[in-house]
Copies of this chain bind each other. A is one copy, B any other.
Amino acid sequence: MLWSGWGDPAKAVTLPEPVVRLLRDALGVREPAHGPAAFEEVRLPVPALPQPVLAELEAVTGAKRVRTDDDARIRHTRGKSTPDLLLMRAGDASDAPDAVVLPGSHEQVLDVLRVCAAHRVAVVPFGGGTSVVGGLVASRTGFAGVVALDVRLLNRLVAVDAESMTAELQPGLRAPQAERLLAAHGLTLGHFPQSYEYATLGGFAAARSSGQASAGYGRFDDMVMGLTVATPSGTLSLGRAPKSAAGPDLRQLVLGSEGAFGVITSLRLRVRPVPGARAYEGWRFGSFAAGMAALRRLVQDDGPSPTVLRLSDETETMIGLARPDEIGAAGGSGCLVVAGYEGTEGHVARAREHAAAVLAEAGGEHLGPEPGEGWAKGRFGAPYLRDALLSHGATVETLETAGFWSDLPRLYEAVRGALTAALSDRTTPLVMCHVSHVYPTGASLYFTVATAQSGDPVAQWETAKRAANEAILRAGGTISHHHGVGRDHREAYAEEIGELGVEILRAVKRRLDPAGILNPGVLIP
C-alpha cells in the first residue's frame, strides 16, 4: 500500500485530458506548487515508549514483532481519508504510533492489552489501515505512548462448516486473501466494499462495513454469526446460533465498536457458494427522484432482488463517476442505474427479468450490459483516482449517510446544499451523489465532492465536513451508513444517539477497558 495514498503504486492512474480540462475550467483547480513529500522527508515524532515497556511487549510476541522503525510507524499513521492523505503528502506523520506490535494469537492479544493497560499505553487496533473517518488516531493525552496493534498475523481460515454455510476466519485477513481461501472450498463472502483490496475482516466487523453487493449478500454485520473478542478484562465469545432470544444481542455491541471495547480475534461468518452466473447492466432514469422511486419499488416488492443496485444522481452520471476507469468519457444524461445479478443461472435469470419489468414500468430505459460491465471493471478504482486528483490540486473526498425512504429527498438536498455552500469560495464545487445500499425501509446516500484546493485544504475540508454533518443530523439521517464514526464523526454521533446513548457506551467501555487504553478518542466522546 502506498504510504501517502491508496493502493499499489503500480496501479496509479493518469487523469485523462477531459478531466484535467474540467478541473481547470469548471473548478478553477491549479496544480500545486509543491508535489508530495518524499518518504525520507516525512517528519515523525520521537518514539515515546520506555524501553522496559518495549521489552515486555517483545516478551509477549517475540522481538521481531515489535517494530519501532520509521517504515512501520509511517505505514501505521492514520487511515485513508483525504485529510489523512493531505497530511501525509505534506510530510506530517505527527500521529504515528510509537511502536507497531504484531501478535500472533488471541492469547498474545490479551497479553499485549495487559502490558499496555499496566503501563497506560494507548492501543490502536489496526487491520487494513483503510479508515476514512479518523478511526486510527488515538488521543495521546495522559498516555505513556501509543501502540498500533496490527492483526495481520491473525490471517488463517480456521474452519469451514459447509453444512451450516459458515466459516471461521481470523480478523487480519485482507478481503482478497479471505476470498482466495474460501474459493478453494467453492465459497465466497460476497463482501466487496471500495476498500476491498486492502481492508481486513476484523475492520469490516469493527466498523460495520457494507459492500457494493449488499443488496444481494447483505452488510458485513449481517454476515457475522459469531465473534471472539480480546478485551483488557478478558475474552468474550458470542454467537451460538444465527439468531437468539437470549437477551440483548451482544454481537451487535461489538460490531461497530471500532476497537474501543476490544480486539476481534476470530469471526464466524456466513458464506455462500461462489456464484455460477453474473450479469451487470445499466438503466437510465430521467431524474434522481424517478430512479429512487424505481429502486424503492424493486426492494419493497416480493420479487427476487438484484445483487448490486447503484443509482447515480444527475451530476455523478454526467461526470461518469460510476466508471472511474473511464471517467470523463462514459458519462451521460439523466441518472444511471447499475444493476448486478449473481447466483445460480436460474436466480440470475429470474432476478434480471423481475428487475427489468419493475425498472421499465418505473420509466427506466435499458442501456444493455456495457455500463454495468464498465462499472464492474472499475469498481475498486475510485481511490486511485483520488490520488491523481489530489496531485492535480483538487480537494476530493466522499461522505455518506442513510435514512428512511421518506426522508431521503430532504436529506439529499440538505447535504448537497451544505457542501455546495461550504465550498463555494471561488468556484462552485462538484457535488455528486449515489444510492448504493438499499433496504425495504430506506437507503444510503453516498456523496463525492471535488473542488479546487485552497491554501489549507485540510481546514477547507474540515469546514465542509462540519457543514455536512450538521445537515445530516438536522435532516434526520444517520451520521454514517458504512464508514463508521472514528474521530471525525464522534461529536455528531453523540448527538445522534443522545447523551444517554453515549453514557451506555461509556459504561460498557469502563467495564471492558477500565484503563481506557483502547483507541482513546475514537467513537466515544
A-side interface residues toward B, CB under 8 Å? 161, 163-166, 207-210, 219, 221, 225, 231, 233-238, 240-250, 252-258, 270, 296, 300-304, 343-344, 346-347, 350, 401-407, 437, 439-444, 476-485, 489, 493, 496-501, 503-508, 510-512, 523
Chain B residues, CB < 8 A from A240: 402-403, 476-478, 496
**Given known contacts A246-B480, A346-B303, A485-B246, A238 and B163 CB-to-CB distance under 8 angstroms:** no
A242, B404: Cβ atoms closer than 8 Å: yes
Q: In angstroms, how far is the closest chain B Cβ from the Cβ of A394?
A: 26
Chain B residues, CB < 8 A from A402: 240-244
Rounded to whole angstroms, the CA-CA distance of A407 and B249 in the bound complex is: 20
Chain B residues, CB < 8 A from A481: 241, 243-245
Chain B residues, CB < 8 A from A300: 165
A-B contact pairs, 16 of them (CB 8 A): A165-B300, A221-B243, A225-B441, A231-B500, A241-B481, A244-B481, A245-B256, A246-B478, A246-B489, A248-B253, A252-B253, A302-B343, A302-B347, A350-B350, A507-B511, A508-B508
Beyond the given A163-B296, A246-B489, A248-B252, could you list 10 further A-B residue pairs with CB under 8 A, ordered by the A residue number?
A: A161-B405, A166-B441, A221-B243, A225-B441, A240-B402, A240-B496, A244-B478, A245-B478, A270-B441, A350-B350
Chain B residues, CB < 8 A from A244: 208, 402, 478-481
Chain B residues, CB < 8 A from A235: 498, 500
B165, A441: Cβ atoms closer than 8 Å: yes
Chain B residues, CB < 8 A from A506: 511
Chain B residues, CB < 8 A from A207: 245
**Given known contacts A240-B403, A501-B238, A165 and B440 CB-to-CB distance under 8 angstroms:** yes
Residue of B241, B479, B511 touching A477 (CB-CB under 8 A): B241
B252, A256: Cβ atoms closer than 8 Å: no
A247, B257: Cβ atoms closer than 8 Å: yes
Chain B residues, CB < 8 A from A511: 503-504, 506-507
